Amino acid sequence: MNQLVAIAVYTFREAIRNKVLYSIIFFAIVLLGLSSVLSTASLQQDARVVQDVGLMVLSVFSDLIAIFIGVTMLYIELERKTVYNLLSKPIARATYFLGKFLGIALTLLVQFLLMAAVLSLVVLDRGGSLDVTFAQALLLTWVQCILIAAIALFFSSFSTPWVSGFLTLGLWLVGNLLQELERYLPQIEEPVAHTILSGVVRGLPDLNLFTLTTQVTYGIEVPWTYVGQALLYAGAWGAAFLLTGLLIFQRRDFI
């Protein structure tokens, strides 16, 4: 356990040194600039638009940061050969791999909390309210961010940052379009194309489940049972990607 925590803390410090969290400054500038543009609208409309667009920007930025950290942190240590020194000590590869993930998750939590705080302040400044649905939306947005990090770390266990980033970004894009693809599925008559698209729809995580932007904008209550199911869904997919990545990493030859 001490080794796991030590690796997680080390990963967090490395992420800070790589200036990953400076993306928060850019996010704040974008959000504040957006608020000034919306200043001509009524307070109620302004707050709703800020919540809508703000949650979207928060989700996109968090996921992009998760992809960047997930595909680079392991590769950096391979390039520096730091991993060789660590694994030559009595540290299990599973401990190292899971420690990297926990460190990435900690980094993402810090940047997400800071960006969420900026968004919340802007919403309050525009006359909006921070209700339960807004909190649920933030929670599921962060959960999606962690899932994306697990996917990125999985790909980085066997490929380069560029390839891992491309694959993760592609899965992220498809995951956000799964519901549209599912609606389009009955219109495909060609058997092979139908089978392939059906496999994509059923074989990839549906990231739309973590988006509550519409509910927040229109004040629609979200049952906690739905939130719980979404958490279990993310946990199952995240565990699957991490376990598969760990199995690949354990068999990887570093010599």
CB 102 within 8 A of CB 4: yes
* Segment 243-248 mean pLDDT: 93
* Segment 26-39 mean pLDDT: 62
Distance CA 146, CA 159 (A): 20
CA neighbours within 13 Å on the CB side: how many for 193?
A: 8
Mean pLDDT of the chain: 82
Q: Per the structure block, which two tokens stand in for 233?
A: 């869904």
Give the residue, 213 or 240, on which the prediction is more confident: 240
- Tokens 């009595």 map to which residue? 90
* Segment 3-22 mean pLDDT: 78
**Amino acid found at 113:** L
CB 130 within 8 A of CB 51: no
Percent of the chain with pLDDT over 90: 32
**Considering only CA atoms, which of 148, 128, 1 is closest in space to residue 54?**
128
Q: Per the structure block, which two tokens stand in for 5?
A: 């925590």
Q: What is the pLDDT of residues 120-175, one digit of tens each?
A: 888 887 777 788 999 999 999 999 999 999 999 999 988 888 999 999 999 999 88
Residue 61: what pLDDT?
85
Give CA angle at 65 (62, 69), nearest 5°.
Answer: 140
Give the residue, 64 or 195, on which the prediction is more confident: 64
Positive or negative, the CA dihedral 84, 88, 91, 94 is positive
**Collapsing DSSP states into helix, strand and coil, what is residue 6?**
helix
Give the residue, 77 or 155, on which the prediction is more confident: 155
What are the sequence ranges of the domains in the chain? 2-250
Give the residue, 110 or 15, on which the prediction is more confident: 110
Distance CA 98, CA 59 (A): 24
Quick check: 255 pLDDT over 90? Answer: no
Residue 42: what pLDDT?
47
CB 147 within 8 A of CB 64: no
* Helix residue ranges per DSSP H, the chain: 2-17, 23-37, 43-80, 82-87, 93-125, 132-156, 161-184, 191-203, 213-218, 224-250
Quick check: 180 pLDDT over 90? Answer: no
Q: What is the pLDDT of residues 34-67, one digit of tens each?
A: 654 654 554 455 677 778 888 888 888 889 889 9
Residue 214: what pLDDT?
85
148 Cβ neighbours under 8 A, 6+ residues apart? 63, 66, 67, 70, 168, 172
